[in-house]
């Protein structure tokens, strides 16, 4: 099992398009992947679950992956968040 803590910097956090991109990326892996904010943990492959976390700009999340492609899953999701979901940061 691998996990990483990251700060979400996108202006809308993990909502709308960034959340959809996050979930689609998570779904591309066979590992079990979860995302946590504070003490709440949800399935990273469920758009509704991810949206219920209410992750906003500046929030810290923990991504955990367990399975045969856990290392690659963590890396891809980290890259997605650190690249600001490939979108310009309009602050």
Question: Which tens digit of pLDDT belongs to each residue from 26-37?
Answer: 999 999 999 999
Residue 87: what pLDDT? Answer: 79
Q: Where does 4-91 have alpha helices with state H?
A: 16-27, 47-52, 70-82
**What is the predicted pLDDT for the residue at 86?**
84
Res. 67: pLDDT tops 70: yes
* 48: pLDDT strictly greater than 80: yes
Instruction: Provide the token pair at 67.
Output: 């399975």
Q: How far apart are CA 45 and CA 28, in angstroms?
A: 9
Is 15 in the active site? yes
**Whole-model pTM?**
0.92
Query: What is d(CA 60, CA 39) in angstroms, rounded to the nearest whole number?
Result: 11
As a whole number of angstroms, the distance between CA 70 and CA 91 comes to 33
**Percent of the chain's residues with pLDDT above 70:** 96
Catalytic residue among 10, 15, 37, 45: 15
**What confidence score (pLDDT) does residue 91 get?**
45
The token duo for 45 is: 């492959």
Work out the mean pLDDT of the chain and round it to a whole number. 94
């Amino acid at each position: 099992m691998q996990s990483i803590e990251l700060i979400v910097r996108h202006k809308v956090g993990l909502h709308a398009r960034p959340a959809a991109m996050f979930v689609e990326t998570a779904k591309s892996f066979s590992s079990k992947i979860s995302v946590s904010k504070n003490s709440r943990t949800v399935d990273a492959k469920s758009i509704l679950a991810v949206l219920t976390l209410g992750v906003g700009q500046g929030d810290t999340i923990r991504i955990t992956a367990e399975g045969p492609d856990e290392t690659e899953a963590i890396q891809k999701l980290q890259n997605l968040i650190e690249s600001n979901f490939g979108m310009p940061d309009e602050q």
